[in-house]
Structure 1
Amino acid sequence: MNKKTLTTQQIVLYALGMAIVFVSTMFIKIPNGIDGYFNLGDGFILLFSSIVSPLGGFLIGGLGSALADVAGGYAYYFIPTLLIKGLEGCMVAYLFQKYGNKIKWIAYFLGCMIMVIGYFFAKWYLKGSMIIALSGIAENILQSGVGYVIAIVALPLIQRQFYRQRKLKKA
Structure 2
Amino acid sequence: MTHGNVNLCDAGIIIAAIMFGKRDGFIVGALSGFLLDLISGYAQYMFFSLLIHGLEGLIVGWLGYQHRRKTQVLAIIIGIFIMVLGYFITDAILYKPVAGLAGIPANAIQGIIGSIVGYPIALKLKQILKV
**Identity among equivalent pairs (%):** 30
* AA of the residue aligned to 1:58: F
Paired residue secondary structure (2:5)? strand
- 2:99 is the counterpart of 1:156: no
1:56 CA displacement: 1.2
Instruction: Identify the residue that residue 73 of structure 2 maps to in structure 1.
Output: 105
Instruction: Identify the residue that residue 78 of structure 1 maps to in structure 2.
Output: 46
Instruction: Identify the residue that residue 41 of structure 1 maps to in structure 2.
Output: 9
Q: Distance in 2 between matches of 1:92 and 1:34?
A: 26
1:134 counterpart (93, 101, 116): 101
**Do 2:14 and 2:115's aligned partners in 1 also have CA atoms closer than 8 Å?**
yes
Q: Distance in 2 between matches of 1:34 and 1:107?
A: 27
User: Deviation per CA, 1:13-63, whole angstroms, max 9, x where unpaired?
Assistant: xxxxxxxxxxxxxxxxxxxx4311111111111111101232211110011
1 or 2 for the larger relative contact order (CA 8 Å, sep ≥6)? 2
1:91 CA displacement: 0.4
Written as runs of structure 1 = structure 2, the 5 A alignment for 1:1-171 is 33-97=1-65, 100-102=67-69, 103-127=71-95, 129-163=96-130
Q: Whose strand proportion is higher, 1 or 2?
A: 1
TM-score (norm 1): 0.71
1:101 CA displacement: 3.0
Q: Which runs of 5+ in 1 are unaligned?
A: 1-32, 167-171
Q: Distance in 2 between matches of 1:117 and 1:68?
A: 19
Q: Provide closer, same or farther for how the CA distance between residues 47 and 101 of structure 1 changes in structure 2, counting only shifts above 3 A.
A: farther
CA RMSD of aligned residues (A): 1.5
Alignment: residue pair count: 130
